[in-house]
Amino acid sequence: MIDVSEGNSSVNLDRRKFLFLTSSAILFSTPATLLITAKDRKEIAKAQTSSSSIYPYIAIVEGDPSNGYNVLTNSGVIFNGSCTDGSGTCGIYEAIQYLQNNYGQGEVVLLGKFYPIKSPITSPPNNIEITGSGMICINPGSAPMFISLLPIISNEIKILWYTNTGIINKILTKRRSFSLLPYVLFTGTIQSLLFANGDQALGTPSQFTISAWIFGKPSGYTGYILSYGSLEDGEAWGIRASSNDIIFEGTTGSISAPFPSNIPFHLVVTYSNGQAAIYINGNQVASGSISVNYPNRTYLWINNFPIHSQQGGLNVGSWYSIIENIQFYTTVLSSSQISTLSSSIAQDPVTILVFWSLYRYLMYLGDLITGIGFQRMGALFYGGVT
């Protein structure tokens, strides 16, 4: 008999009794016995406050990072280990597999805190529900699986980011705001987002690193990808794709490299006291001297910066272009850090940064560090979340 502690909202099951059961000789000695009785199951379901499951079979996944994880089934414990073991899902995928393979259906009950790191599946399995009162902390590796599983994960389960960078978990605590696909699509060269956080949105750093993933093509006009400046006071720096080149220009001077033949690609620009470099897909492709002077009003523009052309953005890659996972550091990142950033389109920040706009996995139309949104209700600006 498994008691239910209704007064505990974070872990409904009495953990002491549960752990006793999962580690007891009784469990291991009676693998063929249906350990979780129908009555127990009802108790669990009742504790979960969600609507009762339609499935008669359950597998319980419980644990935490320090004690490890167990998958408890009517066949006994089928998984015991850490989140890096097995499928890299803290046993959750193993529980799904067990129910699918044995019954073709069932309910996975999560109790505890989970840090999955991989995505062995990226579409919801049939006839499986995930319930319980656990917390799943996903990272870029596990996001594809758990975002795709959202339709079968009950609302009682919290899904947060594995590390509390900026305001990410503040947002996710209130809303499951996930998307597997990027949700900011620029459908032409005229659209842009403008980030204003005071008059100098990103400060006036003497060294910085910009990282972003680009899906688009060079423009016949200015082809701005990212720029820092204002229409009123001019440009501090800009990254453009024009004449089949990637160009990083300062207030004076510029460096350039051939536009990559394959899109999307990862782009990094570093700048340190007059010395700049461009990295494509983790490799340095250009370097040189430029100067950056900051005007009084300086905002970060994403895509079009209509200072020389109203159609000053990147050409579309297909029917749209994407400039995503934009990260801005006020330091110069090491080549290994840059390499890490180029490893995945949703790669997390590698150190402390001052601006981060992700666009996929977490839907948020603004800076995830400060929580400040884009100014975008002017003419030619981006019109809203698509």
Partner 1 sequence: MPIIISDHMDPDVDFYVPPGSDATKALQEALQLSLVYGVAHIIIRGRLYVYASSQVTLLLDQSLHYIFEGDGLGEIIYVNPNNLSSVPPLVAIGSISTVEMQYITNNNGVANKQEAGYSTWGWIIAFKNMRLINLTPQRWVIITGMPYHMHSIMFYFDSVQFFANIWLNQTGTVLLYNCYANNAELLFDTQSRELMAIGCRFENGSNLAISPRGWTVVGCVFVGTNITYLNPGTDGNNGSVVGCVFDGATIVTQGADNLKIVATQFQNVTFNGGSVQLTQGINYGIVGCSFVNYNVVISDLYRGHTIFIAFNNFDDGSNLVILIRDNYVVDSITILGNLFSSIPTHNSFIFIAGSPSPGQSLQLSGTVNMLYVAFNTFINSSHTSGAAYGYELANNYRIHAFAYINVAISIIYAYIAFNYFQQNYGLYNNSTGKPIGFFSLQQLTTNVKTVQNLFFYFNVNENNPMYIPSSQAYTAQFNIGIKQ
Nearer to partner 1, 42 or 308 (CB): 308
What is the phi/psi pair of residue 137, to 5°?
-110, 105
Nearer to partner 1, 219 or 327 (CB): 219
Nearer to partner 1, 7 or 38 (CB): 7
Min CB(211)–partner 1 separation in Å? 21
Taking CA atoms, 107 is separated from 14, 82, 119, 261, in Å, by 19, 21, 19, 47
Min CB(243)–partner 1 separation in Å? 16
Min CB(171)–partner 1 separation in Å? 6
Nearer to partner 1, 352 or 385 (CB): 385
Query: d(Cα 109, Cα 41) in Å, to the nearest integer?
Result: 10
- Determine if residue 384 is left, alpha or beta; phi over 0 gives left, psi from -120 to 50 gives alpha, anything else beta: left
Min CB(69)–partner 1 separation in Å? 30
Query: d(Cα 327, Cα 339) in Å, to the nearest integer?
Result: 14
Binding stretches for partner 1 (CB under 8 A): 167, 170-171, 174-175, 177, 190, 194, 196, 221, 230-232, 299, 306-312, 363-366, 371-381, 383-385
- Cβ atoms of 224 and 304 within 8 Å: the answer is yes
Nearer to partner 1, 79 or 305 (CB): 305
- Cβ atoms of 106 and 99 within 8 Å: the answer is yes
Query: d(Cα 136, Cα 63) in Å, to the nearest integer?
Result: 11
Min CB(124)–partner 1 separation in Å? 21
Nearer to partner 1, 197 or 209 (CB): 197
For residue 51, give every residue at least 6 positions away whose Cβ sits within 8 Å of its Cβ, in sequence order, or none.
Answer: none
Min CB(138)–partner 1 separation in Å? 17
